[in-house]
């Protein structure tokens, strides 16, 4: 079953520029402004499909549109062009501690986030021991999140997102945060989700992760798909492009 179907997806922003033709216009700019705008395509003509159980790795340089694509997949951004179809419920963790209320304890945030994701209190209680065990932050589970380090937020955030077992899990670079043991545990959890036919979409700067754990990859370049398909072929093309750019610089 196809869990994600994207057809010609595009996100465009208007970039406004103030243009003054004379000193007089500059002085009167507060009263009357002459401006022009350009279209900036953060994403353009993106078409791809993701099957149930796939782990899709999204790679590319900074500013390529990777996080914007996750925002579209999560429903936070609506495409200006094209269409996007998700045939499953998605759980999104786009940044460290996304959705956390800093004044509340970790425990309270677990229940709050679970409720936002549509779980009943009973559902959350049944998953709570696994979430706490996975996060492995000890007594800090009862401490306000505002006192957490970035690593602790990442642990708890990933624990919540992964252990509610969503049909689609969206992650943005979270496996790059934390110690080696946490990264290994996170990767093991992703493999577990794969065996349960869950779909995972992750933005990462780690090409080794893509080739080892992903079943499909997308290389984004300036908002467009430069390559999509077999992870090794996509990663090799991406790394070759980087090396070529260094030689020509």
Confidence grade of residue 218 (pLDDT, cut at 50, 70, 90): very high
In 3-state terms, what secondary structure has residue 174? helix
Dig out the tokens for 199 from the structure.
């779909």
Which pLDDT does position 172 carry in this prediction? 80
Which pLDDT does position 51 carry in this prediction? 92
Which pLDDT does position 177 carry in this prediction? 55
Dig out the tokens for 95 from the structure.
């940044």
User: Which residues are within 8 A (CB) of 120 and not within 5 positions of it... i.e. 6 or more apart?
Assistant: none
Q: How many other C-beta atoms are found inside a 10 Å radius of the C-beta of residue 46?
A: 24
CA distance readout (Å), 171 to 23, 26, 111, 177: 50, 46, 20, 12
What is the per-residue burial (b if ≥16 Cβ within 10 Å, else e) of 220-237? beebbbbbbeebeebbee
Which pLDDT does position 187 carry in this prediction? 78
With a cut of 70, say whether residue 113 has pLDDT above it.
yes
In 3-state terms, what secondary structure has residue 201? strand
DSSP β-bridge partners for residue 144:
105
Least confident of 51-55, 122-126, 127-131, 164-168: 164-168
pLDDT digits (tens, 9 = 90+) for 47-92: 999 999 899 999 999 999 998 999 999 888 999 999 999 988 777 6
With a cut of 90, say whether residue 223 has pLDDT above it.
yes
CB 204 within 8 A of CB 210: yes
Q: Is the dihedral of CA 124, 128, 130, 135 positive or negative?
A: positive
Q: Judging by beta carbons within 10 Å of its beta carbon (0-12, 13-18, 19+), is residue 32 exposed, middle or buried?
A: exposed
With a cut of 90, say whether residue 44 has pLDDT above it.
yes
CA distance readout (Å), 203 to 38, 42, 54, 63, 245: 28, 16, 14, 12, 22
pLDDT digits (tens, 9 = 90+) for 85-110: 998 877 766 554 556 899 999 999 99
Which pLDDT does position 24 carry in this prediction? 60
CATH number at 51-248:
3.40.50.300
Of residues 202 and 219, more confidence is placed in: 219
The beta strands (E) that lie in 62-209 are given as: 81-86, 90-93, 168-172, 199-203
Q: Judging by beta carbons within 10 Å of its beta carbon (0-12, 13-18, 19+), is residue 16 exposed, middle or buried?
A: exposed
Which pLDDT does position 106 carry in this prediction? 95
In 3-state terms, what secondary structure has residue 1? coil
pLDDT digits (tens, 9 = 90+) for 18-32: 555 566 665 665 555
**Where along the chain do its domains lie?**
51-248
Of 141, 130, 137, the residue nearest 165 (C-alpha): 130
Q: What is the pTM of this model?
A: 0.76
């Amino acid at each position: 079953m196809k869990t994600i179907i994207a057809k010609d997806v595009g996100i465009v922003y208007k970039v406004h520029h103030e243009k003054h033709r004379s000193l007089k216009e500059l002085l009167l700019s507060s009263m009357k402004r002459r401006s022009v705008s350009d279209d900036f395509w953060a994403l353009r003509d993106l078409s791809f499909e993701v099957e149930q159980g796939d782990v899709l790795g999204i790679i590319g340089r900074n500013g390529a549109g990777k996080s914007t694509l996750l925002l579209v997949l999560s429903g936070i951004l609506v495409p200006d062009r094209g269409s996007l179809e998700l045939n499953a419920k998605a759980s999104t963790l786009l940044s460290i501690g996304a959705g956390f209320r800093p004044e509340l304890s970790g425990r309270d945030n677990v229940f709050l986030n679970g409720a936002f994701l549509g779980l009943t209190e009973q559902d959350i209680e049944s998953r709570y021991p696994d979430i706490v065990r996975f996060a492995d932050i000890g007594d800090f589970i009862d401490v306000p999140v505002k006192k957490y380090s970035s690593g602790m937020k990442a642990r708890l955030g990933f624990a919540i997102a992964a252990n509610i077992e969503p049909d689609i899990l969206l992650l943005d670079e979270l496996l790059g945060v934390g110690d080696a043991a946490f990264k290994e545990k996170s990767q093991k959890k992703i493999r577990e989700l794969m065996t349960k036919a869950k779909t995972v979409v992750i933005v990462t700067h780690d090409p080794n992760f893509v080739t080892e754990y992903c079943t499909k990859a997308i290389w984004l370049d300036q908002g467009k798909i430069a390559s999509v398909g077999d992870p090794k072929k996509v990663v090799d093309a991406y790394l070759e492009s980087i090396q070529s750019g260094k030689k020509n610089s």
